[in-house]
Structure 1
Amino acid sequence: MKNYINPLIILSVILLVVSCSDDFLERPPESEIIPEEYLYEESQLASYTVNLYGILPTHGNWSFGTFGIDADTDNMADMDYDNKYVPGQWRVPQTDGSWSFGNIYNINYFLNTVLPRWENGEITGSEEGIEHYIGEAYFFRAYEYFNKVQALGDFPIVTETLVDEKEVLTEASKRNPRSEVVRFILSDLDSAATMMMGTSPDGNKNRLSRYAALLVKSRVALYEATWLKNFKGTAFVPNGSGWPGAEKEYNQGWQYEAGSIDAEIEWLLDQAMIAAEEVAGAYSLTPNNGVLQQSVSDGENPYVNMFSAEDMSEYNEVILWRDYDQGLGIVHNVPVYAMLGNYGVGLTKGLVDSFLMENGLPIYANGSGYEGDDYISEVRENRDDRLWLFLKEPGQVNVLYNEEAGTHVTPVEPIPDITNPSWDQGYSTGYAIRKGLNYDGAQANNGQGYTGSMVFRATEAYLNYIEASYLKNGNIDGTAASYWRAIRERAGVDTDFQKTIAATNMQIESEGDWGAYSAGQLIDPTLYNIRRERRNELFAEGLRWMDLKRWRSLDQLINNNYHIEGFKLWAPMQEWYDDGILVYDSGSATVSSPTRSEYLRPYEQTGDELVYDGYSWTMAHYLDPIAIQHFLITSENNNLESSPIYQNPGWPLTANEGAQPINN
């Protein structure tokens, strides 16, 4: 079939190539490039594709960067709630939305231009370098398409830069079923893995490599396998009951390439395992020596430092990271926020409670040794190192070097400022983390931080393999067991994961972990502990929302509201605060009332909050709505039903309306 690019968002290739700012590798922009003479040299290919690195998550200047992406999940909460948890408040937009093709157009321009020239031997430079940068383009097209699949599901596959003719574009706007799109993504990632070098060509892990493609391949394949498994039979998978794509003639007779949805799931799990195992075999885990450095005489801990280093290339498991440079003005503010309340993004009680004790037992199990949560110090005691190391507590040292160098230094962790509504200064839940904190005060000049930003690390591949192999085989095979033990050993937790599984009470776990559910039902303890390991290892790294969606872990909120909670305010810790600061039960309340919970509830203070009675859910919110603009562009006489595009399940063809309930 032909492919579609919306004429309203087609970008000028001339503008693109003339403005190639090289943020990721810190090179000055190309200038005065004549398009007819461009993309004939290896260096020009490198300059063009480095422009695409902005597609990847990195630290922004006035935010908590990648560490804040997990906000608005059961892991982390910021200073305001998200309307997706208030059915009826997330509405169909008139314009814009996730249905866009700008990045895809730019990548296709590169591939459509470069591939024929390369095949004809018209590009100068090393063959290895030329192939690598072509591989980067394949990678970014795959990555952008994966973003579309997560947001929208079915989506048109675009491989050409089309002419701006409505008839052609309308015909080409047909949505490919999501499984077809995922096959396309995996094919592009295979091309990327084949063409890219085994190590980053810059020698510093600031550019992609074969292993980045393989890691993302394992991520994509696992995502789609679990989506198909958990949404099987519903409107959210091709040929499921109520699938809106079935209403379009062009989808009649469509079948999964593997022959059935079950066969497709098996194939995807195989792909995830193969790719993940290759990555895990190439990258060892960065060691954790258990040291929380609090003085210059303490030994450094590479596992802690890895997340806030100026140079991340030296760490074993790092596959790709972004480099910053204060001298070039490529900076961010993450170190400043890491010394306070994380730009108002706090850990939830649910996440904190999920971490095991160092003896491998859940906190509620007999003999666990849990000290309780009256104080943050007790919460951390004898816990998984990932909590003990990364959960801050008042009085800990934030700066060890150059304290005088930074204008916004917070040398000692303060009492959590839970009544301050400022994102800069406030603590949303009372729990703040150390990921992103650099002990050098020179990093704490406002907006002038230059610590690195992690993009991909190999531990995810270990976790992807464990989950995929269990779903496929129904047991923990030898490879998965070795990966699981390695992760737990690095975390300072008893490596006997079967001991943990045997002690797991799913009803208790479900109280604070949405991942305890799939399709509204509690999962088995082994699968749950695989998900727990992933949650505890990757928290604050931007993957939680992706996981919750593919696991279908929000159905239970439809009938049972969930209350986001933080630390145990109404206990001894309330004595940290001066009289009159903790105001509740009024329109000017600064904290939630003790009659609602002993634990701080950041969105339940005044009673005016739309989530005052907790988070809720509706099935349609698993996918984004498509803006009405796109139906109008491709319709006849403004008859939206005539458009070859179809709306996502539960979303109406009317702007500014919320989703309708779906019986799935």
Structure 2
Amino acid sequence: MKSINKLIITITLGIGATVTSCQKLNIAPTNIVTPAIIFNSEAGVKSLLATIYADLPIEDFKYRPDGGDDNNGMQRPGFNPGNPWMNFYNSAAVTGEEVGPFGGMDIGSGFGYWPYADIRNVNTLISELPKHVATLTQATVNSLLGEAHFLRAYYYFGLAKRYGGVPIITVPQDPGAPLSTLQVHRDKEQATWDFIGAELDLGYQMMSEISDAGRANKYVAVALKSRAMLYAACVAKYGSTNFIDGPARGQGLVGIPADQATKYFQAAYDAAKLLDGHYSLYNQNSSDKVKNYTDLFLDASSKENIFIRQYSITLNLNTPAGPHSWDATMSPGRMTSGGLSRSYPTLDFVQLWSNLPITNSDGTPKRFNNLLDLTQGLEPRLRATVYFPGETLRGLTFDTQRGIYPSFSGTAAAEVAKAPNSRTWQLQTDPNVLYPNKTDPNAKQVIGFTGISNNLGDDQLTRTGFYVRKYINYNAAKTNVDLYKSIQPWIDLRYAEILLNRAEAAVELGNTGDALTDINLIRDRAGATPYSSIDLDKVRKERRMELAFENQYYWDLKRWRTADVVLDRAHFKGLMPYYVFNENKYIFLAETELFNREYTFQKQFYYEPIPGGQINQNPNLLPNNPNY
């Protein structure tokens, strides 16, 4: 595969300043460097590490699951694309956690992620480091080698969860070698996962316990191992019954024998256990659990953070560590100085916690004096994850409203079943329109300034009644909230996920005692009622609630092999607030979200196709994955 075999390591000027990791990697490397220049100093090695970290497939604020697009000559499909402000292209928007204007995109068919040039850089690092012990010292070489094994495992994890078995290449290939030696075959899927596990074991054994923010240490390695081995275990257990047959399956290129599931669940459990005592759940404000959970995603000193990606306002916006636009594209226009909100949490997601109390026992809508009254008694974690109507941000209220009813009678279900033009509401798209008219001293806005958009061309108002709260920097002044102005770190691995990984593995292994303890630690921090018993459904539900909007649920659906059921012609709902004028009250109706998107997922999408361009260069990558 000639595309993966660059002999000269090329590093763009300034890339050391754009890395996702620590300040100590901010080293300006030379344009084209040779191994002698790189490995004669620790600074040179860190310059190469900067490139490797920058290209890691971390699914962060800038990640687009459809592969991204390219307006600036950049070819890094899916990761940090040429338009990194488009945060509405996110995994949540294609799974029902959120809905967005591009939520129906076909992300299951693949976008050509193939990072073998990056893997070659890691292989070069691993092959060269032992030659420079005299310059770097044995201890430094050992630690850097451990870091390199972690990095190589991360790249292969990005490949394995997409394609199953891929070529395992551990040495820098010589592009001048015979083509037959470069056109390597795919390894089996099980061998690929075993390789990932072994690499992360080396990382754990060789790295130190501490590292600068954004760089790996031994516990980062085993944290990733707990995630990766849990994925492999589910492929073995659930992929053995829910699959499409074909030559790739028959050759073991996709799929893992079912009898291997226990081994991988145990590996995930054991890896997670190694983090005990080294990280802890964020609990800086136990008296205000909403604020505590909100601040978890903004506090750089959090002891829950295991591995993060950092950003800087001074760096090129198209680089991985350049500023992102989460605040500007997840908040309504009224609360920013620029940007467009386009992706919104669904009522289906919100009701993971419980059915909201919006109807009476006779089916009529409950009346509320204020929009915020609905949130009374809701779990703090939910309120810290989603902005409800009536909440405030930057001194402004989410005055979310879809319209005004002059009066309302009947049941909620009967009203929602009516055709829109047969309902008696007053419906406008302009928040400045008043009912009954602007001269009436009791007049009310027909919709709010953060109201529900009835105009599908309007890119700043919710289509579901909710806005995302997780990761929103509420401390930022409105004047500083614009495209490419956000720099809060992305938390790639945090301790709550490790507890969830361990709990899931424990339940699968029949160890419900440990699983119950781990889940209740999370629920206590969330302000939720502890469970008295545990099962797999509860663990999975807890995972969905805790890791919402963190680009995890899409991959959970894939490894559980439930995506083709959950997303089978699926439609999702929003929560529509209305003002009832003659009662001076608010009501809420559960209605189809206003994009009215249908979601689907075919079984073949559990694996993505090997990129066609790579097959053209290397026919030995065939057979392709089933149904491609």
Structure 1 position 452, deviation (Å): 2.4
- Within the candidate set 89, 96, 107, 2:122 is matched to 107
How many aligned positions are there?
526
Q: Please, what TM-score do these two structures have when normalized by structure 2?
A: 0.75
* Matched residue, 1:46: 46
Contact 1:318/1:457, CA 8 A, preserved across alignment: yes
1:123 maps to amino acid: T
1:59 maps to amino acid: F
Contact 1:562/1:616, CA 8 A, preserved across alignment: yes
**Secondary structure, in 3 states, of the residue corresponding to 2:492?**
strand
* Matched residue, 1:628: 612
2:30 maps to amino acid: S
Relative distance call for 1:354 and 1:394 in structure 2 (3 A) is closer
- Within the candidate set 124, 139, 146, 2:136 is matched to 124
- Within the candidate set 216, 222, 233, 1:225 is matched to 233
Q: Distance in 1 between matches of 2:342 and 2:60?
A: 18
**Secondary structure, in 3 states, of the residue corresponding to 1:279?**
coil
- Within the candidate set 564, 569, 572, 1:561 is matched to 569
* Matched residue, 2:416: none
Q: Distance in 2 between matches of 1:395 and 1:365?
A: 19
Q: Percent identity?
A: 22
Structure 1 position 12, deviation (Å): 5.6
Contact 2:153/2:200, CA 8 A, preserved across alignment: yes
Relative distance call for 1:268 and 1:363 in structure 2 (3 A) is farther
1:616 maps to amino acid: T
1:71 maps to amino acid: A
Q: Distance in 1 between matches of 2:304 and 2:89?
A: 18
Q: Distance in 1 between matches of 2:395 and 2:28?
A: 37
* Matched residue, 1:533: 542
* 1:579-630 CA distance string (max 9 Å, x none): xxxxxxxxxxxxxxx9xx95133433xxxxxx5xx32332111111223333
Q: Distance in 1 between matches of 2:43 and 2:367?
A: 56
Unaligned runs of 5+ in 1: 1-5, 294-300, 402-412, 502-525, 576-593, 605-610, 636-642, 652-664
**Secondary structure, in 3 states, of the residue corresponding to 2:372?**
helix
Q: Distance in 2 between matches of 1:468 and 1:62?
A: 35
Residues 284-299 of structure 1 aligned to structure 2 (within 5 Å): 284-287=280-283, 288-289=285-286, 291=288
1:57 and 2:59 matched: yes
Relative distance call for 1:189 and 1:164 in structure 2 (3 A) is same
* Matched residue, 2:323: 331
CA RMSD between the two structures: 3.6
* Matched residue, 2:103: 81
Relative distance call for 1:379 and 1:136 in structure 2 (3 A) is farther
1:77 maps to amino acid: V
* Matched residue, 2:157: 146
Contact 2:341/2:459, CA 8 A, preserved across alignment: yes
1:106 maps to amino acid: N
Structure 1 position 395, deviation (Å): 4.4
* Matched residue, 1:16: 11
Relative distance call for 1:459 and 1:414 in structure 2 (3 A) is farther
* Matched residue, 1:517: none
Contact 1:49/1:136, CA 8 A, preserved across alignment: no
**Secondary structure, in 3 states, of the residue corresponding to 2:260?**
helix
Contact 2:330/2:343, CA 8 A, preserved across alignment: no
Contact 1:566/1:600, CA 8 A, preserved across alignment: yes
* Matched residue, 1:656: none
Contact 1:317/1:459, CA 8 A, preserved across alignment: yes
1:43 maps to amino acid: A
Unaligned runs of 5+ in 2: 63-82, 317-321, 334-339, 397-447, 582-587
* Matched residue, 1:178: 189
Contact 2:147/2:216, CA 8 A, preserved across alignment: yes
- Within the candidate set 274, 279, 302, 1:315 is matched to 302
* Matched residue, 2:278: 282
2:61 maps to amino acid: H
1:38 maps to amino acid: I
Structure 1 position 191, deviation (Å): 0.9
* 1:127-161 CA distance string (max 9 Å, x none): 44433332222111111111111111111111122
Contact 2:235/2:255, CA 8 A, preserved across alignment: no
Residues 328-367 of structure 1 aligned to structure 2 (within 5 Å): 330-340=322-332, 343-356=341-354
Q: Distance in 2 between matches of 1:171 and 1:7?
A: 7
Residues 252-651 of structure 1 aligned to structure 2 (within 5 Å): 261-287=257-283, 288-289=285-286, 291=288, 301-309=291-299, 312=300, 314-327=301-314, 330-340=322-332, 343-356=341-354, 377=372, 379-399=374-394, 414-419=449-454, 421=456, 425-438=460-473, 439-441=475-477, 443-473=480-510, 475-477=511-513, 479-498=514-533, 526-556=535-565, 560-567=568-575, 569=576, 572=578, 598-604=590-596, 614-635=598-619, 643-651=620-628
Q: Distance in 2 between matches of 1:271 and 1:627?
A: 31
Contact 2:289/2:527, CA 8 A, preserved across alignment: no
